[in-house]
Amino acid sequence: MNERLDLSATAPRPTPALTPTLTLTVSSKQEIAHGITLFELAAADGGALPPFEAGAHLAVTTPNGLLRRYSLCNPPSERQRYVIAVKRDEQGGGGSRSMVDELAPGSVLMAAPPENYFPLARGARRHLLIAGGIGITPLLSMVHELRARGEEFELVYVSRFPESTAFLDELAAPELAGRVRIHHSHGDPARALAIEPLLAEHAEGSHVYCCGPRRLMQAVREGTRHWPAGSVHLEDFGTSEDPKAGGDQLFSVRLERSGITVAVPPGTSILEAIRSRGVEAPSSCESGTCGTCRTRLLAGKAEHRDYVLDDDEHDTDIMICVSRAQAGCGQLVLDL
């Protein structure tokens, strides 16, 4: 098990159930950067909203009926509004397009109370926040919270172009001077910010948090191999290239202890496939970052898409929420 990742961020949840008990209304909608729309949401009855912590997200039912999770980016001290930013994804499953195209001020949106799989570490001496693109959203809430607490932090925010970068004005506030570094690559890999030097030294009590595209998270994962247990915190959902998208093939998993074989079609995770057959397995982040769904791999070659396992664990373990069989490997055998 990789002990560097913070596995205490959330308790395992046996099923991905969502109960949309909150009725929200859209109180404002504004495009804040190219392709990114900010929504302010309020309780439909005008009352106080359930509290949330920095790093938390809101699971909503989109107008076209999909479940989507969006990080809350306003200060956690606010109880009259939730603020989310939605990047309209032309290639995705349609949830973000539905949100951006169909919601308007006054629209009703059903949601579950906020959950937090990505909390700030308690007792940390310093927090390094690394955001990529729309991955800024949970980290912006952390910036608000850390400022309120008076704790030491730095935000490093990478994006491709200024015009597609959300919250530039907010992050240029004088009170954040010296604590925010924004870097634009302008779409040129040669101009991308080198992440490894930021992580080369680990000062005692430092924690790093990263939310952004898969390659950024991998860079942080690689660059923190020498950091202590529990000091690296990653958040993936809604920000990376969809690991289920494109090129996936049908394969099967044989569950050794259950004695059944389950087909895993493209677009479906192993976790989803086995649950559909009534086999339970614990999970939490369902994005390959927390380690909760770690399962023994008894046979077969896996294509590992998580941020937890080390190379020397790839033949024996698999994160069934994101990883699949390698192309050409028709079946994995799991200790389930």
Residues that bind ligand FES (CB under 6 A): 283-286, 288-293, 306, 308, 319, 321
Nearest distance, CB of residue 81 and ligand FES, angstroms:
30
Residues in CB range of 286: below 8 A, 6 or more apart: 16, 237, 269, 271, 293, 321, 322
d(CA 57, CA 86): 12
Query: Tokens 């959203």, residue?
Result: 137
* Cβ proximity to ligand FES, 14 vs 162, nearer residue: 14
d(CA 219, CA 199): 10
* Cβ proximity to ligand FES, 143 vs 293, nearer residue: 293
* Cβ proximity to ligand FES, 163 vs 241, nearer residue: 241
d(CA 267, CA 279): 19
* Cβ proximity to ligand FES, 151 vs 272, nearer residue: 272
Nearest distance, CB of residue 306 and ligand FES, angstroms:
6
* Cβ proximity to ligand FES, 98 vs 116, nearer residue: 116
Q: 258 is written with which tokens?
A: 């259950």
| Closest of 132, 102, 158, 286 to residue 217, by C-alpha | 132
Nearest distance, CB of residue 68 and ligand FES, angstroms:
18
End-to-end CA distance of the chain: 18
| Closest of 280, 291, 273, 292 to residue 336, by C-alpha | 280
* Cβ proximity to ligand FES, 55 vs 76, nearer residue: 55
Nearest distance, CB of residue 225 and ligand FES, angstroms:
18
Query: Tokens 């634009």, residue?
Result: 184
Nearest distance, CB of residue 242 and ligand FES, angstroms:
16
Nearest distance, CB of residue 284 and ligand FES, angstroms:
5
Q: In this structure, how many other beta carbons lie within 10 angstroms of the beta carbon of residue 168?
A: 15
What are residue 197's phi and psi, to 5 degrees? -60, -30
